[in-house]
A and B are shown apart, each in its own frame.
Chain A
Amino acid sequence: MCDTCGCNDHIHPHDHSHGHEGKPHIHRIDIQTSAVAYNQRFADQNRGWFKAKGMTAYNVLSSPGSGKTAFLEACLRFLNQECRPSQTAVAIVGDLQTDNDAERLRATGAEALQITTGATCHLDAHMVAHALDELKTENIQHVFIENVGNLVCPATYDLGEAFRWVLLSVTEGEDKPLKYPVIFQKADFVLITKMDLAEAVEFKRDVAIGNIRAVAPNAEVFEVSVKEPHRLKEFFERLTSLRA
């Protein structure tokens, strides 16, 4: 603290009188607060809520059109139809506009809540906290949170999930992980989707996996296709073993 006038800090020399005549007094005010502290409070609260209720939550991320909704349709059908009652699953879906994706997911028989974000390019933990208040299904084990299709902004926001999935479709190009390293670095699972199209688009599998490994060395990688059930089997086995 400054001995002269008791303020917290000065960046001007102490050759002034207490009245600061002719010299503006400049305060340095320490704040040291994360700009996403507000989001983190809700994320921690959501994480505690999921844990207390025995639910495992997934933040599902990709660019638009990578097949998030189609993949979640398959996951919901598998868990709710083939594994019930031990593996009940619901979905929360974020989109800028429309509730088309929630409608698609509801058609599987699962509860699906739509968050319409308007102009906001990502889901945040506060939006998810409100959606969780609306859930009606009993004894849920899995909560899929389909984020807004975007590989940039959603990377910043923890939603309280246990696992992050990042989807990369074979039609997007093998170098996508290198172009968007931040979101891939935070992935627990990278799912290469639309593998049924791999040959048609001359997808270079080894290059893509090498790029994923470069930016997300510890992520589990699965190659999947909702059109070819045998390409889902291995992932579904892993999914039923996941616990927060």
Chain B
Amino acid sequence: MHELGIMSRMLDMAVEAAEQQAPGGRILQIHVQVGPLSGVVVEALRFAFESLAPGSLAEGADLVIHETAPLFYCPDCKTTYTTPIGNYHCPACHSTHGELRGGNEIQLQHIEVQDHV
């Protein structure tokens, strides 16, 4: 349910950037990075976008979601590893001390804006 608020904030950022850097343009694509440990459900984010975009500069735009994997750093054997949700052990040394380094992001990466013609 919180995806609505998150999408609303990302749309505000996207519209503000478009208005400032490409005045009069139309947003074609919104690229977002979402990690599986972010607590955000991708389908809910898409639904929120479909609900919020009409009437804004992003109406008709594509929401492109780039999903990442959980990324951990093992302080015991100094390796970085990705792992499925629910199994965070270091595959090299089986340590459970892995520190989360990625996979929890909800990031507005970039937008593509078509000039006013």
Contact = CB atoms under 8 A, between A and B. Distances in A.
Contact of B6 (A25, A30, A36, A185): A36
Nearest to A183: B39
Nearest to B16: A31
Given A24-B114, A27-B113, A214-B87, A156 B38 contact: yes
B94 to A, nearest CB: 11
Interface string B62-100: 000000000000000000000001111100000011001
Q: Is the interface of A mostly helix, strand, loop or mixed?
A: mixed
A36 B107 CA distance: 8
Contact of B37 (A38, A120, A185, A218): A185
B101 interface: no
Nearest to A211: B86
Given A25-B115, A156-B6, A156-B39, 10 more contacts: A24-B117, A27-B21, A27-B25, A31-B109, A31-B111, A32-B110, A35-B7, A35-B108, A156-B2, A215-B85
Interface of B: 1-2, 5-7, 9-10, 13-14, 17-18, 21-22, 25, 28, 32, 36-41, 85-89, 96-97, 100, 105-115, 117
19 contacts: A11-B112, A20-B115, A24-B114, A25-B114, A26-B114, A29-B21, A29-B22, A31-B14, A31-B111, A35-B108, A122-B2, A152-B2, A153-B2, A155-B39, A156-B38, A178-B86, A182-B37, A185-B37, A218-B97
Interface of A: 8, 11, 20, 24-36, 38, 120-122, 152-153, 155-157, 178, 181-183, 185, 214-215, 217-218
